[in-house]
Amino acid sequence: MSKRVTTLAAAAVILALVVEWTFRGASGMALVVAVLFWAAICQGMVALAAAADLSGARWFLPLRGHLMGIYPLLFAFPALFLVFSANLSVYPWLGHPTRWLEPNFFVIRNVALLLLTAVAAHLWSGADRRGARSAKGYCTLYLFSFVVTQSLMAFDWVMSLEAPWINTLFGAYFFIEALYLGIAATALVALLRARRDPARYRPVLVDATKLIFGFALLWAGQIFAQYLTIWYGNIPEEVGYVYKRVAVQPYGAMAVFVLLAMFVLPFGILVSRAAKTRPAPVIAAAGLVMAGYVVEKLVFILPAAPVHPVALALEFVILGVPVAGYLFARPDAPPS
Amino acid sequence: MIREYKFDDKAAFLNRLEELVRSGVHPRRLTVTTPFHVHEVEHILHLRPSWLKLFTLIGAAAGLTAGFAFTVGTALDWPLRTGGKPIVALPTYIIVAFELTILFGGVISFLGFLFLSRFPDIPAIVSGTECGPEFIIREDTGEAV
Amino acid sequence: MSLGTYFDQLEHDVLAAMRKPSKLYWTALAVSAAAFALGLGCWGWQIYEGLGVAGIRSPVGWGVYITDFVFWVGIAHSGTLISAVLFLFRAKFRCSFNRSAEAMTVIAVMTAGLFPLIHLGRCWFFYWLMPYPNQRHLWVNFRSPLIWDVFAVSTYFTISAVFFFVGLIPDLAIARRRFTGWRHWVFRILSLGWQGTAEQWKHYAWLYMFLAAFATPLVISVHSVVSWDFAMSVIPGWHTTIFAPYFVAGAIFSGTAMVITLVVPMRKILGLDSYITVDHFEAIAKILLFTSLIVSYSYIVEFVLAWYSGNPFEIAHFSFRAVGDYRYLYWLMLFCNGLLPLTLFVKRLRRNLKYLFVLSLFVNVGMWLERFVIIVSSLARDFDPYNWGNYAPRFVEIGVTIGSFGMFFMLFLIFTKMLPVLAIAEVKEHSS
């Protein structure tokens, strides 16, 4: 199985390279948006497995192997970032670099971190399969690198588009969103498995949907904390960023959609007990969360940098095929 | 006549309860006391779901409404501009409404619990009835003593 | 051992803690009460002489009192985490701690609630904080974070108290059965006539779950609201978006440390070793480690982003924290909160109760210092150099702080003798 996934990942990288070369810089941040989304799902799922392991959570066990097994795809992301790095002209600081926002350091540190995340996941998976004691250590290393990688995705890839604007919660916000997306993906996988083996997977599905519900609230709290602080202080150098994305159309409408898709609707759909196990509500909630994530990244990025819609659609599908293929086509793991 | 069955063991208690119900004893004639919550009892005795959810929902809705109504209402009552914020500054009112949702939801749930469980149970307090650490089934056989 | 015998033993052991107090207990109670009396005396002196006897002046208008307020509200959070959040996550180890943690929450919120009153100076006007109709048609300013605090902390106290009481009901019924005399009557009334029937448990289970479900967002929102007391300003060091989760993690961190500080000696003195095991403490230590990492992450992000932004005020402020007049407190804070807890990666240390106890004391100190450093350093060095000024607490403030610790420990000691320190019914449920 791992070989097939690795091949798909390599194919995705090559295809993305082809798309980027075809558009020759006109794609803007399209690859970044696609990578942000799929990296959030893949890294988020592995992080979920890691967190469940370290906290001794048992509800997760039937899906554990499946979620950990996605790690080979993580190796695609540093390669994809390298593909993107040919096109750093979207960043305003390129012309006047500082010690931190300097192109070579920028690329090296992000590629290194993405690679570290993938390597840590690989080491963890290997140690876990062997039953080695070092598994817990690699698991912790993965979580550390996941947090730092997602934080830098926030600070470097997205926040620096509006340099020197800062938002200290942005990094933590991105990795909370990655976990959120990981849970949404887990719920979808659990739903699919529960149709074939309800006794084993229904409890997992119930817990995953409860977590979606909880994370919807957590997400809302985080976005509110950012919005409230910036809105209340009303400092010119800070508030312009929010103003451009909330009061200017079409970004304002997109922002409203994000709020509905990532909080209001999943919360409302999943509040009843019955909804937590029926397919339609779960698919709707998980799907909305994922759609909301993509639109949100567009709201962050579009006012500051272009995103070519065709390039985005192509790269989204290119990266999505291996991920979805792995998640939904993998045969059942034997009961662990 | 009240027939009493006492158990130290949860499994034995559940078995006996199931037997009694299967043998045709109406659940209404059985009073069960346990030292902790046992989910299975509710299934075996076909107890109706608790109405507590309704109290929680009403409480939370009341809190949310009261939170927004009060904050917006008082702001419009004397429209004083503070800190350059709009008169109806919804981001700030969300916080107050959120807290009141939880406050009213929690307190009304608690009052609902007292109401549904008929607490405080004055006759029980006055008579000093005790509940022990055992699992007890009391069957009202309906016969005279 | 049969279940019946185990239940009997459990009830006996836990309720034995409520028997006649030892000399050690009376000494501890006397010391706490004396500290509390000192605090009351200092507060009385402040009411008599005016707020000027405290050290707070322009520009540092918020000092030790607000530090104490945030500190005690923070302590309270961990109790709710252990009771409510761990309940929703179905963590088994929770039931050996949750009663003490819930008591700690209620007592800590009561202690915290005193500080806005103390800080008012003219504390008899406290009711102006409440929205009530008056002939001047004045309402409170709902746009102010200080009013959000009033609502958040009042809600927190009410829900925590309700949750605490609800959790106690079955245990009060047990205590009712085992005690005689006036205590029997108190438990008889407080237990509301609880019999443990199926109907009662049915409603109870739902209520407990709803209260836990309400308390969870409350944990996050209350300390977020407290952090927004600072973040809603514009001064460097305060105006930053990360404050909400940073403070919540810090609150759980300091609260968990206080749980360890309280429960390690309590377990030894009351002989509850078999019910509160080293495994339980290891789980709590992991929470301590995890929240310490979040706090360290926040320290790093704040510092690095200040430098990244190129904003001279942000850079100047964070330099002041590191090398300015309060640098010793700052570095001690980093050591206690960021560095020391890293030793908990070592499993042997996580399972060493003496080490955990000592570490928890350092964390308590470190977290108090963190609040002090954040509050005082930002006010001491804001935008305009003409407006700079340092702050040092005076005897009244130190006395009141000692008094708050006295009040907390005194009330906790009273709790250990008046109510069961373990959730007996829940321990029974998990052991069966």
- Whether residue C245 and residue A147 make contact (CB cut-off 8 A), yes or no, is no
Query: What is the per-residue pLDDT for A111?
Result: 97
Q: Is A171 in CB contact (< 8 Å) with chain C? A: yes
- Whether residue C142 and residue B134 make contact (CB cut-off 8 A), yes or no, is no
Two structure tokens written together for A165: 């604007």
Q: Is A267 in CB contact (< 8 Å) with chain B? A: no
* Alpha carbon of B25: minimum distance to chain C alpha carbons (Å): 17
Query: What is the per-residue pLDDT for A333?
Result: 52
Give the residue from C73, C61, C408 showing the smallest Cα distance to C228: C73
Minimum-distance CB partner of C245 among A222, A233, A235:
A222
Q: Is A221 in CB contact (< 8 Å) with chain C? A: yes
Question: Which chains neighbour B (Cβ–Cβ under 8 Å, 3 or more pairs)?
Answer: A, C
- Rounded to two decimals, the pTM is 0.94
Taking each helix axis from N to C terminus, what angle separates A170-196 and A198-233, rounded to the nearest 10 degrees?
Answer: 160
Which is it for strands B135-140 and B2-7: parallel, antiparallel or unpaired? antiparallel
Q: Is C147 in CB contact (< 8 Å) with chain A? A: no
Residue with token string 């590191």: C322
Residue type, C317: H
Query: What is the per-residue pLDDT for C408?
Result: 97
Minimum-distance CB partner of A168 among C90, C305, C310:
C305
Which is it for strands B30-33 and B2-7: parallel, antiparallel or unpaired? unpaired
* Alpha carbon of B141: minimum distance to chain A alpha carbons (Å): 38
Two structure tokens written together for A45: 């799922």
DSSP for residue B30:
E
Q: Is C274 in CB contact (< 8 Å) with chain B? A: no
Give which of B39, B68, B125, B129 to mutate to test C binding, by max C Cβ within 10 Å: B125
Mean pLDDT of chain C: 93
Give which of A102, A153, A168, A222 to mutate to test C binding, by max C Cβ within 10 Å: A168
pLDDT mean over B25-47: 89
pLDDT mean over C158-181: 93
Minimum-distance CB partner of B45 among C173, C198, C215:
C198
Minimum-distance CB partner of C217 among A54, A217, A222:
A217
Count of residues in chain B: 145
Q: Are A275 and A281 in contact (CB under 8 A)?
A: yes
User: With contacts defined as CB-CB under 8 Å, which chain B residues touch C221?
Assistant: 95, 98-99, 102
How far is it, in rounded angstroms, from Cα B21 to Cα B32?
12
Q: How many domains does chain A have?
A: 1
Confidence band of B28 (pLDDT split at 50, 70, 90): confident
How far is it, in rounded angstroms, from Cα C261 to Cα A294?
46
How far is it, in rounded angstroms, from Cα B74 to Cα A309?
47
Helix (H, G, I), strand (E, B) or coil at A322: helix
- Whether residue A169 and residue C302 make contact (CB cut-off 8 A), yes or no, is no
DSSP for residue A101:
S
Residue type, C31: V
* Residue A303 covered by a domain: yes
- Whether residue A147 and residue C297 make contact (CB cut-off 8 A), yes or no, is yes
How far is it, in rounded angstroms, from Cα A307 to Cα A204?
38
Confidence band of C125 (pLDDT split at 50, 70, 90): very high
Phi, psi of B3 (to 5 degrees): -95, 135
Query: What is the per-residue pLDDT for A336?
Result: 46
Confidence band of B145 (pLDDT split at 50, 70, 90): low
User: With contacts defined as CB-CB under 8 Å, which chain A residues touch B91?
Assistant: 224, 227-228, 231-232
pLDDT tens digit string along C40-98? 999 999 999 999 999 999 999 999 999 999 999 999 988 898 889 889 888 888 888 88
- Whether residue A232 and residue B85 make contact (CB cut-off 8 A), yes or no, is yes
Two structure tokens written together for C230: 């600072």
pLDDT tens digit string along B88-142? 999 999 999 999 999 999 999 999 999 999 999 888 888 888 888 889 898 888 7
- Whether residue C244 and residue A168 make contact (CB cut-off 8 A), yes or no, is no
Domain coordinates in residue numbering, chain C: 26-131+153-431
How far is it, in rounded angstroms, from Cα C312 to Cα A163?
15
* C-beta neighbour count of A308 within 10 angstroms: 18
| Residue spans of alpha helices (H) in A131-250 | 135-152, 170-196, 198-233, 236-246
Q: What is the 3-state secondary structure (H, E, C) of chain C?
A: CCHHHHHHHHHHHHHHCCCCCCHHHHHHHHHHHHHHHHHHHHHHHHHHHCHHHCCCCCCCCCCHHHHHHHHHHHHHHHHHHHHHHHHHCCCHHHHHCHHHHHHHHHHHHHHHHHHHHHHHCCHHHHHHHCCCCCCCCCCCCCCCHHHHHHHHHHHHHHHHHHHHHHHHHHHHHHHHHHCCHHHHHHHHHHCCCCCCEHHHHHHHHHHHHHHHHHHHHHHHHHHHHHHHHHHCCCCCCCCCCCHHHHHHHHHHHHHHHHHHHHHHHHHHHCCCCCCCCHHHHHHHHHHHHHHHHHHHHHHHHHHHHHHHHCCHHHHHHHHHHHHCCCHHHHHHHHHHHHHHHHHHHCHHHHCCHHHHHHHHHHHHHHHHHHHHHHHHHHHHCCCCHHHCCCCCCCHHHHHHHHHHHHHHHHHHHHHHHHCCCCCHHHHHHHHC
For A111, the domain range is: 2-326
Q: Is C189 in CB contact (< 8 Å) with chain B? A: yes
CA distances from C139 to B62, B73, B104, C120, C134 (A): 21, 10, 21, 18, 8
Question: Which chains neighbour C (Cβ–Cβ under 8 Å, 3 or more pairs)?
Answer: A, B
pLDDT tens digit string along C328-359? 999 999 999 999 999 999 999 999 999 999 99
pLDDT mean over C118-143: 91
How far is it, in rounded angstroms, from Cα C306 to Cα C317?
9
Q: Is C297 in CB contact (< 8 Å) with chain B? A: no
CB-side neighbour CA atoms (13 Å) of C33 = 8
Minimum-distance CB partner of A226 among C216, C241, C297:
C241
Query: What is the per-residue pLDDT for A272?
Result: 80
Q: Using CB atoms and an 8 Å cut-off, which of residues 198-217 of chain C contact chain B?
A: 198-207, 210-211, 214-215, 217
Query: What is the per-residue pLDDT for A7?
Result: 87
pLDDT mean over C94-106: 91
Size of interface B-C (CB pairs under 8 A): 183
* Residue of chain C minimizing CA distance to B103: C155
Q: Is A22 in CB contact (< 8 Å) with chain B? A: no
Residue type, C420: P
The three-point CA angle C284-C288-C289 to 5° equals 115
Per-residue pLDDT of chain A (336 residues; tens, 9 = 90+): 567 778 888 999 999 999 999 988 788 899 999 999 999 999 999 999 999 998 888 888 888 888 888 898 999 999 999 999 988 999 999 999 999 999 999 999 999 999 999 999 999 999 998 988 889 999 999 999 999 999 999 999 999 999 889 999 999 999 999 999 999 999 999 999 888 888 889 889 999 999 999 999 999 999 999 999 999 999 998 999 999 999 998 999 999 999 999 999 999 998 887 777 788 999 999 999 999 999 999 999 999 999 999 999 999 999 998 888 888 776 655 544
* Residue of chain B minimizing CA distance to A230: B91
Confidence band of C4 (pLDDT split at 50, 70, 90): confident
